[in-house]
């Protein structure tokens, strides 16, 4: 089964396709860059504001993971879940980096790490 690639692009008059993992990873990156409430069809989709408030809210990675999981569920993407988000040590004073751990719900031995700089 093929999946729609993000960002949406046409290839020979059809939407470009990609694999499931690549598509979900791109969707996770979109979630991290989108503010809360931006998409009425899925209220939990955006988590940018959660990451932006992380310095004042120590449980922000947990909150972001919970919201990402609810968004995946709302979008009926049940083959993956966010196992956790870890804030990486800062290399620059003004930039926070995170690693999102995503696991397959079909085969939990398959896990993926996604680096984010929201």
Architecture of domain 20-116: Roll (3.10)
What distances in angstroms separate CA 116 from CA 14, 32, 106, one per listed residue?
29, 8, 24
| Structural contact between residues 117 and 90, judged by C-beta atoms closer than 8 angstroms | no
Q: What is the pTM of this model?
A: 0.85
Q: Show pLDDT as tens, one digit a residue, over the chain (118 residues).
A: 566 666 677 778 887 778 889 889 999 999 999 999 898 889 999 999 999 998 889 899 999 999 999 999 999 999 999 999 999 887 777 778 999 999 999 998 999 999 998 6
- Reading the block at residue 101, the tokens are 């751990």
With a CB cutoff of 8 Å and minimum separation 6, the contacts of 10 are 16
* Residue-range domain boundaries for the chain: 20-116
| SS3 assignment, position 6 | coil
């Amino acid at each position: 089964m093929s999946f729609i690639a993000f960002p949406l692009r046409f290839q020979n008059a059809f939407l470009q396709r990609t694999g499931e993992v690549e598509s979900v990873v791109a969707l996770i990156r979109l979630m991290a860059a989108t503010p809360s409430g931006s998409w009425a069809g899925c209220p939990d989709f955006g988590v940018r504001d959660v990451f932006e408030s992380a310095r004042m809210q120590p449980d922000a990675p947990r909150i972001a993971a919970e919201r990402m999981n609810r968004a995946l569920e709302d979008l009926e993407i049940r083959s993956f879940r966010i196992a956790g988000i870890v804030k990486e040590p800062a290399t620059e004073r003004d930039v926070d980096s995170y690693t999102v751990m995503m696991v397959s719900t079909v085969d939990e031995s398959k896990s993926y790490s996604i680096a984010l700089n929201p």
